[in-house]
Chains A and B, each alone.
Chain A
Amino acid sequence: MHEETKNGHGGSSVDKRMSLKDAVSRFIIDGDALYYGGFQTMVPMAITHEMIRQRKKDLSVFCTTTDVGGLDLLVSAGCVREMHLAWSMNWFARGSHGIRRAFQQEALKRYDLSNFAATSALMAGFFGIPFMAVRGNIGTDLVKYNQQDLRVIDDPFTGEKITLVRSWRADVGIIHAQRADPAGNIVSWGTRSSPDEFGAMGSKRGVIVTVEEIVAPEVVRSDPDRTLIPFYKTLAVVHCPWGAHPSACMGYYGQDIRFCEYQGEYQRNERLLHHFFEKWVDGCPDHEAYLQKYVQQFGTESLERLKPKRGFRPVLDVHYTYHDPAVWLDIPPFADEYIGGQE
């Protein structure tokens, strides 16, 4: 462990790698507001399972849109008090059954808005400003029932009506990505759909990330355009292959549709759901155990099937270059009859 600097940041040489268990127990506190990353790809499923294992409670969640049913499991496990989002679903279970039940039982407060309002709320958090103007939502029940996030005002410049969405700043962001270095430079490509860069950067304490692979800092710095979140914003880096399963991770695996359906059947049937938790969450000490159980039950071929077969690698040859080295090479300044030249 490196010595910390006065402001608490250890710079880019601090090793933030740790176990999933440690990351969740050290950095997620009961009552926290979370940014929940991903959409149908890059859903932080392994972190979700660990939060359930640790019985985190009274969480509030900021999210744009979420598929695959991770957030739905978190709600069914009693971890979530309120959620602000545009859409929740397990598409292959044709519903978000746990969230539906929790709302009906008044165990969950749900604040709805549109996708673009949600991304704008996260953008406002990213910008560090209190709200953002958006075109949608006005005139609908979204504004009527979600005054916590949405207000309609008269535009002070034109006098026309416009909707404002308040800034969302979570305490902690939880996301999954392809790669990171030990200090927490998080590398991602192929789109994640939801604006995880805004959600994570806008989080007050920082972000917990699970990644498919850990790479050396030199690898990240060889192509810094791919860094989604720079190291200083990262709290914990967890090496966790298949950490987004059953959602997709571009370049590593596609969505596991059969598992989404299987999990969805448990989510649909409240009386069966505890079996899912016992078997796949509490019955697994960590994500590796979850994967072992998966292979035992469904075979290695079910995971192999999800690996990319029809993908491709970019052919665009990228090269990072420097400015004119004139100064260091003693090239004399340009001159003509009006500008510069020898006095």
Chain B
Amino acid sequence: MANHYRSTEQMVIRCAKEIIDGEVVFAGVGLPLLVVCFAMRTHARRITLLTEGGSVRGTAPAGLAITVDDPVLFASGDATFGMTGAMAALQRGEVDLTFISGAQIDRFGNINSTGVGNWEKPKTFTYFAGSGGANDMATSGKRGLVIIPQDPKKFVERVDYLTSPGFMGGAGHRESMGMLGGGPAVVVSTMGVYRFDAGSREMYLAEYFSGQSVEKVRSFCSFDLSVSRHVKETESPTEEELTLLRELDPKGFYLS
């Protein structure tokens, strides 16, 4: 076991383990691309990777993709479908796992990537980027994986702008909207791993990273966090995993 690593490194390595080999994975911009590139070089060599840029590929890209439109995703890919062709797979129900990040998340896994403040009062509203494809992924993927650094400003009671649906207001809400996908399954932060209660659809802490504690995670969360009775400490990353990850992102584009 390794002693010296960053929490972002543990987040990426732990998150990659949630990807099941053979799945059709739709990955969004940012950290998800690094996680997928890592997973395609470790246990998940047979996934099909789709991105909003329109690449469809069954092999790991030659280098680290910086955005979903990065030429490295298209070079030697299996198809260059463009945004429309690639994203249509979501609506057809073909995507096993969607993988996004965001600026805020609430206890039901609803995500904001549009901006903070009150949109109805423009002076108070700070735009980030917008939905991009996150909303489409969150609506229609069979299972949702979310990666988001732990921060009380990010784990909030109520998202300022609901960009991408989690379980909305709770049990049954997605179904009443006719949403195709099953909603978020796992959230991985820089401090732990969260899952969702099958009944209430509320997020609960399932694992905390080595060096953290339940109380410390709670203090980095702005809502009253539920904790699994079986909560456990996440295994530390191995030297091999860390070496591979650092080879993938040697300049710390994502990890710094």
Contact = CB atoms under 8 A, between A and B. Distances in A.
A113 B129 contact: no
Interface in B4-63: 29, 52-55, 62
A104 B125 contact: yes
Contacts of B70: 40
B245 to A, nearest CB: 21
A140 B162 contact: yes
A139 B54 contact: no
A86 B133 contact: yes
Interface in A92-132: 95-96, 99-100, 103-106, 110, 112-117, 119-120, 123
Contacts of B168: 139
B156 interface: no
B140 A114 contact: no
Range, interface on chain A: 35 or more
A65 B132 contact: yes
Contacts of B74: 190-191, 250
Output the residue of B80, B126, B131 with the most chain A CB within 10 A. Answer: B131
Contact of B178 (A103, A161, A192, A194): A161
Nearest to A122: B84
A305 to B, nearest CB: 14
A106 B122 contact: yes
Contacts of B129: 87-89, 95-96
A142 B69 contact: no
Contacts of A86: 130-133
Interface string A63-103: 01101000000000000000001111101000110011001
Contact of B135 (A40, A91, A142, A250): A142
A141 B91 contact: no
A114 B123 contact: no
Contacts of B179: 135, 138-139
Interface string A138-168: 1111100100000000000000111000000
B177 A135 contact: no
B78 to A, nearest CB: 12
A135 B140 contact: yes
Nearest to B29: A91
A241 interface: no
B69 A141 contact: no
Contact of A112 (B68, B91, B131, B173): B131
B57 to A, nearest CB: 12
A112 B161 CA distance: 11
Contacts of A103: 122, 125, 127
Interface string B172-190: 0110011110000000000
B119 interface: yes
A89 B69 CA distance: 13
Contacts of A312: 75-76
Interface of B: 29, 52-55, 62, 66-71, 74-76, 80-84, 87-88, 90-91, 114-115, 119-120, 122-123, 125-136, 138-140, 161-165, 168, 173-174, 177-180
22 contacts: A64-B83, A65-B83, A67-B67, A86-B130, A87-B129, A88-B127, A89-B129, A91-B66, A104-B125, A104-B126, A116-B83, A119-B84, A119-B87, A135-B179, A137-B139, A141-B114, A141-B161, A141-B162, A161-B178, A191-B81, A195-B83, A257-B66
